[in-house]
Structure 1
Amino acid sequence: MLMVDGVGTPLAVTIDSASRHEVRLIEPLIENCRLPRKPKRLMYDRAADSDPLRTRLAAEEIELICHHRKSRKRPPTQDGRKARRLARRYVVERSISWLQFKRRIVVRCEHYDHLFHGFVQLACMFTIIKWF
């Protein structure tokens, strides 16, 4: 999981098993963010359409902006106006592609999680250094 700002600079990164659902990984990602304050808005794709997640993030004063799933049974919680911001999702995809230039991250060569996490953080630092 990768959290970036509006320009594409990596802010936080976490790794976990591929079998866990993404909704469970969003809150640890926000906790790992090293910013002085929590973000006001969190934009995500349809995988984060979860009412319990929305209420937990709203308790922390974070607004979750994501499209509703097509199979949603409950009434919608947001209209489509705020979802227009998701058109800039290419920034996140571009940041992920920057990290995938490092072969060691694309093909996980490391057996231990802490080593792989270290290499992902190192790739994020190289991405940040590229800006300066």
Structure 2
Amino acid sequence: MRLSDAQWAVLAPLIPPPITRTTRGRPRRSDREVLEGILWVLRTGAQWAALPKGEYPPKTTCHDRFQEWVDRQAFLNILTALAELSEENALLDLREAFIDGTFSAAKKGARMFGPTKKGKGTKIMIMVDASGMPLAVHTCSARPAEVTLVQDTLDASFGMLFPERLIGDKAYDSDGLDAELATLGIEMIAPNRRNRRKTQDGRPLRRYRRRWKAERTIAWLQSFRRVRTRDEVKADNFLGMVQLACIIILLRAISG
């Protein structure tokens, strides 16, 4: 996967400088060509060893740089900077946000996964703004209910202010969650489950019709095969892949 010059112009200043080396060795491959190799793995879902020779740096170079950036939380820092840039360019709308979760099947050996009716996997929680731009992403075992993961998702936001309204499906219909978010100044909007007393109706609930924007963003995420099916053993590495996918989504909006 190749980055356009406009996209790289936005990303280049955000890439962390290399850790100082104390020994001599081969010249360090450029961040751009290594990142494009990582993006090829993210997009195709292929193993690192399958990186096309001659088109991208060697697998060890790409994987080691990816691991270095994950360990330094580089992707989260980039997302924070891109979110700030999006806000400055009036690309974000925080009057309302949407929250939803999706499932990524975990291959044998992955850590932090949980068995569900769909099989073993990892849950990806995402919050997007009114236009569908990612505001937060959180990964965890697939076992916990989504209603219990809202606070963790908010805590994983890209340094943005909390939205005025948070909209979700029936899975988020909870008096406890409503009260918890109210203390943060957030109105939770979700249709009531059948066995619940009616607490949502009228004008606020009509906002739920725009929930497709969260589903569209999830579809964008799942277009990256390394996100749709989890290959990473380490939980932090899988989160890094999801964050990198969010970076591309934001970058496309910023760079046009």
TM-score range normalised by the length of the shorter chain = over 0.9
Letter in 2 for 1:60: L
Given candidates 45, 64, 70, the residue that maps to 2:169 is: 45
SS in structure 2 at match of 1:38: coil
How much does 1:89 deviate?
Answer: 1.1
Is residue 2:181 matched to residue 1:57? yes
Q: TM-score, normalised by structure 1?
A: 0.93
How far is 1:114 from its partner?
0.3
The runs of 4+ residues in structure 1 deviating greater than 3 Å are none
Question: Following TM superposition, by how much is the alpha carbon of 1:15 offset from its aligned partner in structure 2, in angstroms?
Answer: 0.3
* Aligned-partner Cα distance in 2 for 1:35–1:91: 21
Residue of structure 2 equivalent to 1:14: 138
Offset, 1:36: 4.0
Shift of 1:59: 1.2
* Rounded Cα–Cα distance in structure 2 between residues aligned with 1:104 and 1:92: 20
Matches within 5 A, 1:83-102: 83-102=205-224
* Max Rg structure: 2
Cα separation, 1, equivalents of 2:163 and 2:234: 31
Q: How many residues align?
A: 130
Contact 2:170 2:193 in 1 (8 A): yes
Shift of 1:79: 2.2
Shift, 1:78, TM fit = 2.9
Give 5+ residue unaligned stretches, structure 2. 1-124
Q: Partner amino acid for 2:240?
A: G
**How do 1:77-88 and structure 2 match up within 5 A?**
77-88=199-210
1:34 shift after superposition: 2.6
Of the candidates 32, 55, 60, which is equivalent to residue 156 of structure 2?
A: 32
Amino acid at match of 1:27: Q
Structure 1: distance between partners of 2:158 and 2:229 = 27
Once the two structures are TM-superposed, the CA of residue 26 in structure 1 deviates from its matched residue by: 0.5
Identity, in percent, stands at: 43
SS at match of 1:52: helix
More strand by share: 2
Distance (whole Å) between structure 2 residues aligned to residue 71 and residue 40 of structure 1 = 27
